[in-house]
């Protein structure tokens, strides 16, 4: 859980296939999304009720950072009252690998 109106630091490591830190710098594209969804019940003549839902992600922040000695840090902040689900994506522009986490 992340508190609103607080700066949070995302920390990551860049590893080789043996799990060792990669010392040369890597360019990492960081993207921070708001994940949202809407749902409702809908009634029509043929059906008593249908469940309808829609989800979407909205990009809030995008930045390219550089790793140093196999480590990188990135700051994010969620302003009140914008609580909810968020998605952080890290895409290593040097190696092409990507990872993400919903928070």
Q: DSSP label at 2?
A: -
Q: 26 CB contacts (<8 Å, ≥6 apart)? A: 14, 66, 67, 72, 92, 93, 94, 95
Q: Read off the pLDDT of residues 1-45 as tens digits, 9 standing for 90 and up.
A: 788 999 999 999 999 889 999 999 999 999 999 988 766 666 666
CA distance 31 to 102: 12
State residue 83's pLDDT score: 82
State residue 81's pLDDT score: 87
State residue 99's pLDDT score: 94
| Exposed / middle / buried, residue 29 (Cβ in 10 Å: 0-12, 13-18, 19+) | middle
Where do the structural domains in the chain lie, given as residue ranges? 7-32+58-102
Asked if 91 and 98 count as a contact pair (C-beta separation under 8 A), the reply is yes
The pTM of this model reads 0.78
State residue 37's pLDDT score: 74
Q: Read off the pLDDT of residues 34-89 as tens digits, 9 standing for 90 and up.
A: 988 766 666 666 666 666 666 677 889 999 999 999 999 999 999 888 888 899 99
């Amino acid at each position: 859980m992340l508190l609103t109106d607080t700066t949070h630091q995302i920390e990551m490591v860049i590893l080789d296939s043996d799990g060792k830190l990669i010392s040369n710098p890597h360019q990492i594209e960081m993207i921070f999304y708001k994940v949202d969804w809407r749902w409702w019940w809908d009634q029509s003549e043929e059906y008593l009720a249908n469940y309808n839902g829609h989800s979407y992600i909205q990009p809030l922040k995008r930045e390219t950072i550089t790793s140093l000695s196999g480590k990188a840090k990135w700051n994010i902040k969620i302003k009140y009252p914008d609580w909810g689900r968020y998605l952080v994506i890290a895409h290593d522009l040097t190696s092409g690998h990507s990872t993400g986490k919903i928070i």
